[in-house]
Amino acid sequence: MVAPLVSLLACAYCVAPDERLLTALRPALRWLRAFGGPQPHVRLPDIGIRHRDGYWFGIDPQWGDTFPHYWSVLTAVALRQLPEALRTADTERVAGAIFAANLADFGPDGRETCAFLMPSRVDGRPAHRPDPLMNDQDWALALLLRSQK
């Protein structure tokens, strides 16, 4: 809910610049940044948890987690919509890292996976692999292209 709030406030500021919008954006931006952080994996840098409902929706119903979930790019989109007064080299770096993490779900042939099973083993079965189901991960790519300046 925080990423859409930041996007809404940023777009409102773009249409009608007002200091009150910047005042509202500052804490909302801190909230947004609190969901992600430096994680030591190509799929996880600055990725906030966006989708965890205890249900595996890929072809192989192995319990695990979906990282990155393509809705994590909403954070990157919100960061790219920030007014100049709030943009920093770090917000640009984080937005780029989030988009790159989501593009890791695309293979060399252009196919994507709906999810990547993160643990190395789940219930004694090997994991740490992409699920073969191609779903709507291309939303990450679509949102990246729409956020280009």
3-state SS of the chain: helix, strand, coil percent to 5? 45, 5, 50
Residue-wise pLDDT for 75-117, tens only, equals 999 999 999 999 999 999 999 999 998 888 888 888 777 777 7
Q: What is the model's pLDDT at position 75?
A: 94
Q: What is the model's pLDDT at position 149?
A: 67
pTM of the predicted structure, to 2 decimals: 0.83
Residue-wise pLDDT for 3-47, tens only, equals 999 999 999 999 999 999 999 999 999 999 998 888 888 888 888
CB burial string 47-56: b at 16+ within 10 A, e below:
bbebeeeeeb
Residue with tokens 């100049």: 84
How far is 89 from 101, CA to CA, in rounded Å? Answer: 18
Residue-wise pLDDT for 40-75, tens only, equals 888 888 887 665 555 565 677 666 666 777 788 999
Q: What is the model's pLDDT at position 95?
A: 95
Measure Cα distances from 136 to 65, 74, 126 in Å.
Answer: 17, 15, 25
